[in-house]
Amino acid sequence: MSEKKEYSPLTDSNRVIAILNKISIFGGLSEKQLAEVFRLLKKASYKCEEFVYQQGEPAGHIYIIEKGEIKIIVGNENESYELVTFSEGDCFGETSVIGIQPHCASALAMVDTDLIILERSSLLSIFESDKELFGMLILNIARETSRRLHKSDDILAHYLLKK
């Protein structure tokens, strides 16, 4: 199991909102909505080769890479495979959070990494306070999930057709 991290508040709203503006799951949000999301975000730092989460653990956060690099790997102690590498400005974990499923892979910091975190409980609190914002976020997460699934289908088809 990954060690429970201490999260700290974010302070530089202009810099963080500039990052959010480049991420598809926050696309189409107004400045006011982005400010509301910023208020709910936290920060955590991970050392090189430290797991953010491990395969099978419960999902509870959406992660945005502020600085560093995360490798998503799947497998066991005998054999593992790299699925994708995320770098600064990338977002991951959102599909597991809305799917309410354990992580199907592990996330490993490849260098010292700072993450911006939106906890599931914070995402759900948006439902109570601003249903329009919540709807936009969920729709954007669904669109991003569809894009990733389409890309995975293309990769799978490529390998199947090579045989």
User: What CATH number does the domain containing 83 carry?
Assistant: 2.60.120.10
Q: Which pLDDT does position 1 carry in this prediction? A: 64
Q: How far apart are CA 53 and CA 46, in angstroms?
A: 11
Range of the domain at 113: 8-162
Q: Kindly tell me if the per-residue pLDDT of 44 is higher than 80.
A: yes
Q: Which pLDDT does position 95 carry in this prediction? A: 84
The answer as to whether 100 is a domain residue is yes
- Of 48-62, 67-81, 88-102, 148-162, minimum mean pLDDT range: 148-162
Give buried/exposed letters for 2-34 (b at 16+ CB in 10 A, else e): eeebeeeebeeeeebbebbeebebbeebeeebb
Q: Distance of alpha carbon 45 from its chain centroid, rounded?
A: 14
* Alpha carbons within 13 A on the beta-carbon side of 94: 22
Q: How far apart are CA 135 and CA 137, in angstroms?
A: 5
Q: Kindly report the three-state secondary structure assignment for every residue of 82-133.
A: EEEEEECCCEECHHHHHHCCCCCCEEEECCCEEEEEEEHHHHHHHHHHCHHH
Q: How far apart are CA 13 and CA 17, in angstroms?
A: 6
Q: Kindly tell me if the per-residue pLDDT of 162 is higher than 90.
A: no
The answer as to whether 135 is a domain residue is yes
- Of 4-13, 85-94, 144-153, minimum mean pLDDT range: 144-153
The answer as to whether 123 is a domain residue is yes
The answer as to whether 112 is a domain residue is yes
Average pLDDT over residues 16-43: 95
Asked if residues 63 and 91 have their Cβ atoms less than 8 Å apart, the reply is yes
The answer as to whether 1 is a domain residue is no
Task: Write out the two tokens for 24.
Answer: 């598809």
Q: Kindly tell me if the per-residue pLDDT of 140 is higher than 70.
A: yes
The answer as to whether 2 is a domain residue is no
Number of domains in the chain: 1
Q: How far apart are CA 124 and CA 118, in angstroms?
A: 10
The answer as to whether 108 is a domain residue is yes
Q: Whats the size of the chain, residue-wise?
A: 163
